[in-house]
Structure formats: C-alpha cells, structure tokens
Amino acid sequence: MTLCFILVYNIYMKDSARIEKAVQIAKKAHEGQFRKTGEPYIVHPLAVKKILEEWGMDEDTIIAGILHDTVEDTDLTLEDIKREFGESVAFLVDGVTKLSTARNGMRDIDTYLPTTKDNFLRLMIALGDDIRVLIIKLADRLHNLRTLSALPPDKQKKIAKESLEVFAPLADRLNMGRLRVEMADLAFRYVDPRRYEKLKDLIDKYNKSAEKSLQKIESEVSAALKKEKITFQISGRVKSVYSLHKKLAKHNQNINEIYDLTALRVIVDDITDCYLALGVIHSLYTPMEGRIKDYIAMPKQNGYQSLHTTVITKDKHVVEFQIRTKEMHEYAERGLAASFYYNEQKLTENYKKGKIEHLPTNLLWITELQMTAAKLREGKKVDLKKLKINLFSDKIFVYTPKGDIIDLPKGALPLDFAYKLHSEIGDHVVGVKINGKMSNLNKKLEQGDIVEILTSKNQTPKQSWLDRIITSHARAKLLHALNPSSRSESTTKKKRKPRKM
C-alpha cells in the first residue's frame, strides 16, 4: 500500500465513534466561548483536529487535539477525559496543558527563554514525556498563526516572534519541513511586514523571469533521465520568504550569493537512482564547486536526506537541484509525523510500555529528552552539562554560578555574557572562570557552560575588548562606556558592507 493511498484514506475516512464523541464533548465544553475572530470557540479545536489528521497522526493524538484547550479553559477535568477516552489521551492533554504552564513561568515572551534551570527542566519534561504533545502544540500554533489577523497588533507581534524563534525551529528539529516553511512565512509577515512584502515581491518577480528558462532546463533534464531509463518526477520548488531573509542576512544582503532562488526537485525510486540522476545532471551542466552536498550518505541532524547540487546552465542560469527518493521526500516534508505514520502501532505500544527505543534514528535527541524526563520524574539528579539537546539551533544556554540561565547567540564570548548580566559587570571584568577553571576572554562559550565573571572596581573598559565581543548589545554598552558622549554609538563604529538590496 503506498503512502499516498493511506493518506487519502486517512483524510477522507469517516470519523471513528471515539473521535465523534470527543467532538461532541468539546462542543459542549466550549459552548458560549468565542474566538477573537468572532467565531464560536469550537472552530479552533476542530481546525487542530484537521491539521493533525492531515499530518497522519494516530487517533489518540487527534482526540487529544480536539480536547487540548478544555482542561485549561472549561469545566472539563483530566479525570473526565481519562474516564471517557483512557489514560493515553488524558496524558497527552495534560502534557499540552503543562506545556503552557511551563511557559507561564518564563521570562517575557519576547525571548521565550526560561530564566532558571527549573523552568527549563519543566519545559523539557513537558516536551519529553511524549513527543506527540509537541506535535499537538505545533498544530495548535499553526492554526493560531493562520488566524492571527483577528488579534490586536501587539499580540500579533508577540505570537509571531515566538513562532519564529521557538516553534519553527522545533518543527525543523522534527524535520517537519512543510510546517516549518508555513509557520515561518506566516509569522514573518507580522514580525517585519515591510521586509516580508519586499522579499515576497522579489521572489515572485524572480520566478516570473526565470520561468521560461526553468521550463527549458526541466525538459532537458527530463529527456536525459528518460534516456537513462530512470523513473522520476520533477517539479520546481519555490523558495520561502523567511529562508531567503535568513540567507541574505548571512551573505551581507548580496542576492548574487544566493544560489538556490531557483530549485528543481527530482524524486526517484531508490538511492541508486539518486546518484545516477546526479550524474545525468552533471553531464548536462557545470556543477558549481563546493555546492554538492550528499545528505543521503550524511543525513542532517534532523534526519533530512537528499542530494543537493548547484549547476550553471549553458545560458548562465544558476539552478539548484534536490534529488531524493519518495520516502526521503515524504520525510522531509512531514518529518516526525511521517515516522509516526509508518510506526504508529509500534510507537503507541512502546509509549504505553514506557519504552522509547523505537523512534527513528537521527531523532535521538528526542530519546535523550525522554530519558532525562524519566530520570527527573524519579527524582534522580541530571547533569545538564551532559545534555546535548539544543532545541534552539542558533542559541546557546549558559549558566551563572547560581544556576540562572543566560541565552546567547552561538559563538558568544565571556564579555558578551558579562554585558548581558549588567553593564556594571561588563565594564569591570578582569577575568573569567568557565566550569570552575580560569579561562580567558577569547574563549568561545559552549552550551551548558557555567560562567563566572571576575570583576574589580579598579578595572576600566578597554578598546581592545571590541574584538572580544560578538553581540550588538554588548558592543553598544562597551562603546558607550568608552565614549559616553557619543549617541549613536552602535552605528558609527561598526562598519558594514554596503547593502546591495
């Protein structure tokens, strides 16, 4: 049975009696409640239900999705849910509720980052108990984003920002590519509307202008693949606005350095055909140096597999090709949800038994999270330093000796940490201890480091510190300390390459 068939079957299948019952109970519980859009509240849980069905989730997850807001917002209790739908559903609803409680204990939602180890652990336990909790939360957030226009502007911005910084990266960690793209683009529209419009416009124009040549390339490649008797599907993929935004930031806004504005996807039957197709494409066009990536032999951390190559055509067009099998494609689009699909029975059984070893490889961080959660529940001590989990890929968490968590961008140095604590601390740094050992100000901080800043009243800020800082926040503070009279300190000193767009 092919996956497509199962999917279609799943979406159009009549609701089971249990699901129907959950809908009725939710309708009753939310009666008289309304969303900001003016619609009856039940519209939201039903939308979450539909999203979870589209992702191909199991019945318990779908039921928990329908009921996910009842315990927090209505008279329905966890006991009621347990009685009506069993332990597993109650467990999932409880997890989603706990997840919002854990978030409530965190510092302003602006950064959404836990301020203490305790809160961080609470969040991890909520996530780690059963990863399906997170999947329900993602479905919940997706629908809230789709209907964000009904909220007042300040709330829109908060939710959008949180979605960009927390939920879209989480979707990425689960390799749920389609979800990540939709979430990020929906959210980015609210976070930076002008930039969004500008880039959207740019992508549309670029696609229009490239359309003809792309068609030509597509037919050339198709003919060559047919000649080699490779069965394939080929289609264009449109670059998402947010990923273009991020890439431009990485390349000093130089659009000429973005090589995957136009990409073609080739889906073939098996791995051998992937490499054959790569060869065919390279014999037609010139591959760009350093742009061939073999994520089949070396999958990304989230399990993503594909061959990537960028080529230059005879007409000097730069096109990226992504070559993968149907299974890899399915997994890239739906990620963990797709794995649930294949392993549904097995996974559900193992969750019930408390076993966790049946998660797909490459998602071992989830296993680690679950083992940590289990240990914490049993009251065992956990060495956070040994945890390799980093849900927020471009951030690191380090600790003060008291155990407060400070979040910094990757690559941050001790002075960034010191200025993040307080400018009084930053201005008087004489040394740093990392994990109890004397270190120096050039040492890059790493995930989980315990950082102690040594200060002296007699110390004054040094010009040379500018080379030992990577955050704009610390830079602004230091510049101000060096030259208190200057007003626009962060812009005058910092030389940037000219923006090309």
Known catalytic residues are 72-73
Piece of the chain touching Mn ion by CB under 5 A; list 50-58, 113-121, 134-142, 334-342:
134-142
Q: Is 138 in the site for Mn ion (CB under 5 A)?
A: no
**From the CB of 99, what's the least distance to Mn ion, in Å?**
11
Sign of the CA dihedral with 226 first, then 229, 230, and 231 last: positive
**From the CB of 44, what's the least distance to Mn ion, in Å?**
6
Residues 6+ apart with CB under 8 A from 209: none
Q: Which residue has the tokens 């683009």?
A: 185
> How far is the CA of 188 from the CAs of 192, 278, 359, 426, in angstroms?
6, 34, 32, 33
Question: Whose Cβ is closer to Mn ion: residue 140's or residue 192's?
Answer: 140
Q: Is 69 in the site for Mn ion (CB under 5 A)?
A: yes
Piece of the chain touching Mn ion by CB under 5 A; list 2-10, 136-144, 146-154, 473-481:
136-144
**From the CB of 58, what's the least distance to Mn ion, in Å?**
19
Residues 182-211, interacting with Mn ion (CB under 5 A): none
Question: Whose Cβ is closer to Mn ion: residue 171's or residue 221's?
Answer: 171
**From the CB of 482, what's the least distance to Mn ion, in Å?**
49
Question: Whose Cβ is closer to Mn ion: residue 143's or residue 239's?
Answer: 143
Piece of the chain touching Mn ion by CB under 5 A; list 84-92, 137-145, 154-162, 454-462:
137-145
Residue type, 159: I
**From the CB of 127, what's the least distance to Mn ion, in Å?**
17
442-480 burial code (b ≥16 CB/10 A, e <16): eeebeebbbbbbeeeeeeebeeebbebbbbeebbbbbbb
Question: Whose Cβ is closer to Mn ion: residue 35's or residue 395's?
Answer: 35
3 state DSSP class of 237? strand
Going across the sheet that includes 437-439, the strands are 437-439, 429-434, 451-455
Question: Whose Cβ is closer to Mn ion: residue 69's or residue 185's?
Answer: 69
**From the CB of 189, what's the least distance to Mn ion, in Å?**
21
Count of residues in the chain: 501
Q: Is 427 in the site for Mn ion (CB under 5 A)?
A: no
Q: How many residues bind Mn ion (CB under 5 A)?
A: 2
Q: What pairs with residue 398 in β-bridges?
A: 406
68 vs 143: CA distance, rounded Å = 13
**From the CB of 141, what's the least distance to Mn ion, in Å?**
8
265 vs 340: CA distance, rounded Å = 25
Question: Whose Cβ is closer to Mn ion: residue 67's or residue 181's?
Answer: 67
Question: Whose Cβ is closer to Mn ion: residue 69's or residue 427's?
Answer: 69
CB atoms within 10 A of CB 318: 18
Q: For Mn ion, which residue has the nearest CB?
A: 140
- What are all long-range contacts of 160-165, with beta carbons under 8 Å and residues at least 24 apart? 160/186, 160/187, 160/188, 160/189, 160/190, 160/191, 161/109, 161/110, 161/187, 161/191, 162/109, 162/112, 163/187, 164/188, 164/191, 164/242, 165/111, 165/112, 165/392
123 vs 104: CA distance, rounded Å = 10
314 vs 350: CA distance, rounded Å = 54
Options 140, 273, 320, 427; binder of Mn ion; rule CB under 5 A:
140
* Site residues (vs Mn ion, CB under 5 A): 69, 140
